[in-house]
Structure 1
Amino acid sequence: MKLVCGYGVYRPIQNCTSMSIGHSDAASILPSKEHVEYKELDLEIEFGGPEARNKLERKLVRKLDLHMSILVLIYILNYIDRINVSSVRSELTTDLHLEGQQYPTLLSIFHVGYIIMQVPSNMFLNYNGKPSFYLPACMVLWGIISALTGITTSFVGALLTRFFLGFVEAAFYPGAVFFISKWYKRTEIGFRLSILYCGNIISNAFGALIASGVLANMNNDLGKAAWRWLFYIEGALTVSVAIMAVFILPDFPTNTKWLSDDERRLALERMAEDAGVGDQSETEHGSRGHGFYLAITDWKVWWFSLLCASQVVSMSFIVYFPTLTATLGYNPTVTLLLVAPPFVFATIVAFAMTRHSDRTQERFYHMSASNIVAMIGFIISMCTMNTAARYLSLFLVVQTYAGAMLLVAWISASFPRPPSKRAVCFALISALQQLGSISGSYVWPLNWGPTYRYSYAICLAASCTAIIMSWIFRQHLKTLNRKLEEEEQQKGIKEKGFRYLL
């Protein structure tokens, strides 16, 4: 029996053909008996034994972490460029003469562009295989567009820049999540995604601090309003970091130039072992659009999209956070400074919770716990106008980021193979959840303030919906796991193979 299959991965030929994409969810990722029997032999042949392999793997992961760390900085700038309009709501409304629903429309139009571009962008990224160039190129474009917001003089001009900003920014987040999933195992990806998502959370704090400094000190510099300088500065910073990212980011395991041959083989073997089947050569069949077909015909993708949309609606307060801190009654500078502490707290909580979720390999209960704490915060805000109590409630509601981060990690474990399908799943779910962002933009009208009881009630209902839908999804995955176990028993496989995380 020949033991060579794919790029440098030693495995029985039978295993290469047994993983048909046409099989059920359970069968398509079930390892063959031959794969299990030769697993130990593979280690000896490929890497000189388990000890040598573990040493090489630690080195590879450290190298990856070092290069991937710039994604956190990119995400911080990505989100700052997205939410800076919330820090200048008053100035923007006055200078551009916004009326009625025009301001929330500026927020929602961003997500329209975001929805349109995410799926084709991820499909192109999977086909192109050069994230080290593609993601920074998109970053340069959105930095320029963000800076151009500073020269707008009307609602229509701001509307156009916001639309195209969303259109170009759409490439980064689903692309980064898919990118990470090409390198890290299920036991590793939750931690890495939590670090990435922490960039999202902390960007709210950084964005508010930068805005408070610019708005307080740069008004009428060179005859320009301070809010315009905010867009110029943040856009220029984005472009600068994008240029550096070209030289730092890796590509995919098959084409990253700075990997040694052993590291490349190990990177591919790690992903093959993680799902009991290879990531590319053993799972990709059909045309380039086959992954798109597999994604849109999987009901779990649509269910998860609605689940994520509910979670996003429950977090719609994020883009209005300076408005909510303004209800505490302080001046504009202090109002922006008060934005930072809750997000620092949320970063710590989210990091700790996702780390624990990874160690225990559990998702649902961790996510639900975060949502329940947020629901307590919503109820407090609905029941009182006491300054201390309402500020405390902001700490409680904003830690729901932890639940959102776990949802992202759950996607990777729930749609493992083939990579073309996984790329579309990430993008499609991320795109459809923006429907929650669009509707959430209109949840916080000024005439519902300063109590915003109706707004908090909507967030409370959305959190309940997210918990219920997550529980139903978990029950389905438990059923699939039972099928995987039964098929292993029927095939005489003693070693436990792939299981969905619950």
Structure 2
Amino acid sequence: MSNRSFGEGGFAGVTPSIPPSAGLCATSDAWNDQQQAALYRKLARHLLPFLFLAFMVAYIDRVNVSFARLQMLGDLKLSDTAYGTGAGIFFLGYFIFEVPSNLILNRVGARRWIARIMITWSIVSGLTMFVNSATSFYVMRFLLGVAEAGFFPGIVLYLSNWFPSARRAQIIAMFMTAIPVSGAVGGPLSGWVMSRLDGMNGIGGWKWLFLVEGVGSLAVGIAALFLLYDRIESVRWLDADEKAFLRDDLARDAAIRVEYSVWRALRSSSVWMLCLAYFCIAMGNYGLAFWMPTIIKASGVASVGNIGWLSAVPSLISAVAMVLIARHADRRNERRRHVAVCCTLGAVGLLASVLGAASVPVALFALVLAAIGINSIAPVFWGIPTALIGGTGAAAAIALINCTGNLAGFVSPFMVGWLSDLSGGKLLPGMGTITAALLLGAGLVLLLPRHREAGGRHALNPTTQS
């Protein structure tokens, strides 16, 4: 497979009219800082709202099982271990098909492939209402992972083809605020659907939950066919000068990244170190996502509707915090220490939420700290590999890091559920393990080799040259 930079073909079609080595400044230097900032704000206004909405419905469909659990376990007579297995088996399908999906997206274009992903997962999500046993629950969760594979890393790669690395952390953060906002929206929505529609037409509230939220994702998936852009040249709201500047700026940004083939990326020791670090980070992310309603319930809140509303508090606060933290990381041009501090804050908050579970205010305050730390990690973390890796290997490396890390999405809920059953329903053993994983992730990120994130060609140290 040939080496190509992000700015040379690829699924976003960013095709620089000037080679990176030849006279880029002729166009770029004519733009002052205010003009450049205005252009990238314009890009953000046109691209981010729909991507935000798409990721929000994706995340709601992924974790709405945490609310369905409050009724489904009793109806289907499932144990916490069975729930944890079903919640996590999503990520096995995700893992197996992630890299192939991202490579296909890189070849056929974001518009068609992301629409395909969304339409497929919405159908699977809606059909989950028909599960009637642990086995059928496992099957539907696995198929949901297969359907969604490639979505998140595809969007990260897509954004890297529109925004240079110096602006990327806060752009990814703005996109990823969809995670906490999905909690703020999905929590109350899930609680309302389950409490208000429970028993309507003889159908349980948790079944209505999968159906209603699946239909919403289907509508967004169809809209993707009309609202996404594969090439700069196809965008009508950019004039010729703006397109020329973008091509030049992105080509210059691509020139400071090391060109990776797919094989070279897959053999890089530093890429695998990033995989392990992201695995630890995702342990915390899914520990919070899949068990926050249970933690709130354990603090003494009985009503499903009230649990939904209270779960929105940490999500909303962390949505603001993650943008501010990412903006600070961009301003300082520093990633490693920001990620490590957020991992530590998330670990402390998650552990405190269980230790303080006897009090609603204490548990909720601790969950706010956990959400700020955990939700703020990924936007800054993804600024590391996307700033360093170029060529066709970038799609493979980003997908590999994401899917390997997301194996934690299987390990985390299964482990917490299993340890909860072993300890008589206690969450402390599982959350203590997740805390340790987050602290390990902080250490691994700090051990990554130092690099120049702007200018120069020192990047990840591959184990072999190709």
Deviation string 1:58-102 (CA, Å, 9 cap, x unpaired) is 446514531332000000100100111110113211222324622
| Cross-structure match for 1:237 | 216
The 1:276–1:107 alpha-carbon spacing in structure 2 relative to 1, beyond 3 Å, is: same
Query: Which amino acid is 1:91 matched to?
Result: Q
The 1:104–1:436 alpha-carbon spacing in structure 2 relative to 1, beyond 3 Å, is: same
Which of residues 38, 45, 50 is equivalent to 1:70? 50
The 1:56–1:374 alpha-carbon spacing in structure 2 relative to 1, beyond 3 Å, is: closer
Determine if contact 1:185/1:274 at 8 Å carries over to the other structure. Answer: yes
The 1:80–1:52 alpha-carbon spacing in structure 2 relative to 1, beyond 3 Å, is: same
Which of residues 126, 134, 154 is equivalent to 2:113? 134
Secondary structure of 1:9's counterpart equals coil
Secondary structure of 2:42's counterpart equals helix
Alignment of 1:83-232 (within 5 A): 83-99=63-79, 101-128=81-108, 130-232=109-211
Determine if contact 1:56/1:263 at 8 Å carries over to the other structure. Answer: no
Which of residues 321, 324, 327 is equivalent to 1:352? 324
| Cross-structure match for 1:389 | 362
Determine if contact 1:382/1:451 at 8 Å carries over to the other structure. Answer: no
Deviation string 1:212-246 (CA, Å, 9 cap, x unpaired) is 11111111212211111111111111111122222
Count residues in correspondence. Answer: 441
Range moving further from structure 2, 268-277 or 172-181 = 268-277
Task: Say what the alpha-carbon RMSD is for the aligned residues.
Answer: 2.7
Q: Extract unaligned runs of 5+ from structure 2.
A: 1-6, 9-14, 461-466
Query: Which amino acid is 1:137 matched to?
Result: R
Query: Which amino acid is 1:329 matched to?
Result: G
TM-score after normalising by structure 2: 0.87
Which of residues 446, 450, 456 is equivalent to 1:477? 450
- 2:338 corresponds to 1:366: yes
Query: Which amino acid is 2:397 matched to?
Result: C
Determine if contact 1:123/1:424 at 8 Å carries over to the other structure. Answer: yes
- 2:411 corresponds to 1:434: no
Determine if contact 2:284/2:347 at 8 Å carries over to the other structure. Answer: no
Deviation string 1:26-61 (CA, Å, 9 cap, x unpaired) is xxxxxxxxx5xx444x22xxx7x6148974884465
Alignment of 1:321-470 (within 5 A): 321-332=292-303, 333-381=305-353, 383-387=355-359, 388-399=361-372, 400-415=374-389, 417-418=390-391, 420-445=392-417, 446-447=420-421, 448=423, 452-470=427-445
| Cross-structure match for 1:302 | 272
The 1:234–1:11 alpha-carbon spacing in structure 2 relative to 1, beyond 3 Å, is: closer
Determine if contact 2:271/2:401 at 8 Å carries over to the other structure. Answer: yes
Q: Within 2, Cα distance between the matches of 1:334 and 1:459?
A: 26
The 1:92–1:182 alpha-carbon spacing in structure 2 relative to 1, beyond 3 Å, is: same
The 1:61–1:394 alpha-carbon spacing in structure 2 relative to 1, beyond 3 Å, is: closer
Q: Within 1, Cα distance between the matches of 2:357 and 2:244?
A: 60
Larger Rg: 1
| Cross-structure match for 1:28 | none
Q: Within 2, Cα distance between the matches of 1:158 and 1:452?
A: 23
Secondary structure of 1:222's counterpart equals helix
Secondary structure of 1:101's counterpart equals helix
The 1:392–1:159 alpha-carbon spacing in structure 2 relative to 1, beyond 3 Å, is: same
Secondary structure of 2:186's counterpart equals helix
Q: Within 1, Cα distance between the matches of 2:99 and 2:161?
A: 17
Secondary structure of 1:109's counterpart equals helix
Secondary structure of 1:266's counterpart equals helix
Query: Which amino acid is 2:445 matched to?
Result: S
Report the Cα offset of residue 442 of structure 1: 2.2
Q: Within 1, Cα distance between the matches of 2:170 and 2:356?
A: 37
Q: Within 1, Cα distance between the matches of 2:291 and 2:450?
A: 36
Report the Cα offset of residue 177 of structure 1: 0.5
Deviation string 1:418-441 (CA, Å, 9 cap, x unpaired) is 1x1111111000110122221111
Query: Which amino acid is 1:304 matched to?
Result: L
The 1:119–1:255 alpha-carbon spacing in structure 2 relative to 1, beyond 3 Å, is: farther
Deviation string 1:161-210 (CA, Å, 9 cap, x unpaired) is 11111111112101100111111101211111001110012112211111
TM-score after normalising by structure 1: 0.81
Range moving further from structure 2, 459-468 or 50-59 = 50-59
| Cross-structure match for 1:18 | none
Report the Cα offset of residue 160 of structure 1: 1.6
Query: Which amino acid is 1:120 matched to?
Result: P
Q: Within 1, Cα distance between the matches of 2:366 and 2:32?
A: 51
The 1:63–1:310 alpha-carbon spacing in structure 2 relative to 1, beyond 3 Å, is: closer
Identity percentage of aligned residues = 24
Q: Within 1, Cα distance between the matches of 2:205 and 2:145?
A: 23
